[in-house]
Amino acid sequence: MKASWTDKELIDLCLAGKDSGYTRLYERYATSIYNSIYRLVNNIAEAEDLLQEVFVNVFSNVNRLVELDSFEAWTKRIAINKSISHLRKRRIYFTDIDEVQGSEILRDDEENEWQQSRVEDIEQAIERLPDLTKTIVNLFLFEDMSQEEIGETLGLSHTAVRSQYHRAKQKIAQMIKEKGCYGR
């Protein structure tokens, strides 16, 4: 087999019934999809189970992949929908955000401590948001979904998503301000 396959070529292998196509697609995207699921369910075992369900669903519908522009986007959409459905059924909502971008631009140890303190404060503020609002914030910030996509996924209007997100930003800022000033 050749070293570098495109998604289209791997999908063609899947359509031809070749296990290598399925294996390579799984290996290419499993970690990214798992991380998206885990951010929502915040449980390793549940995230692993949902990851398997997602790929079973994707590979069971391999014939739909022919007209697909982006395998990763389609698979991630299925993963997010399955995760949200799982949360609705179980009434379990995520409470942890494990990464905030931007930490690589730290200047020194003092800056690092200050920045880490801010990140923790933001994480705590997000944890205290109502469940729906928390989901909207995470899908927008960490899954790079548009407000329209979030609305479609959650069954809300674009206006409702925009309003919830705007209120969430205000609430987070208020909670951080109440906790203490970050001036130097």
The pLDDT assigned to 134 comes to 84
Give the domain 7-90 fold. Answer: Rna Polymerase Sigma Factor; Chain: A (1.10.1740)
* Residue 136 structure tokens: 């909207």
Query: Is 126:40 a contact under the CB 8 Å cutoff?
Result: no
Q: Which two tokens stand for residue 120?
A: 């923790």
SS3 158: helix
Alpha carbons 48 and 34: distance in angstroms, whole number: 7
The answer for 68, left when phi > 0, alpha when psi is -120 to 50, beta otherwise, is: beta
Provide the CATH number for the domain formed by 103-179 in this structure.
1.10.10.10
From first to last of its 184 residues, what are the pLDDT tens digits of the chain? 566 899 889 988 988 989 999 999 999 999 999 998 988 888 899 999 999 999 999 998 888 776 667 888 889 888 988 888 887 776 533 333 334 334 444 444 555 565 566 777 777 888 788 888 888 888 887 777 888 888 888 888 988 989 988 898 888 888 888 876 544 4
Domain ranges of the chain: 7-90, 103-179
Residues with Cβ within 8 Å of residue 84, at least 6 apart in sequence: 40, 135, 153, 154
Amino acid at 62: V
DSSP string, 44-101: HHHHHHHHHHHHHHHHHTGGGGGG-S-HHHHHHHHHHHHHHHHHHHHT---------T
Instruction: Give CB contacts under 8 A, 24+ apart, made by 49-56.
Output: 50/79, 50/82, 50/83, 50/86, 51/79, 53/82, 54/78, 54/79, 54/82, 55/26, 55/30
Same CATH topology for 7-90 and 103-179: the answer is no
Q: Specify the pTM.
A: 0.57
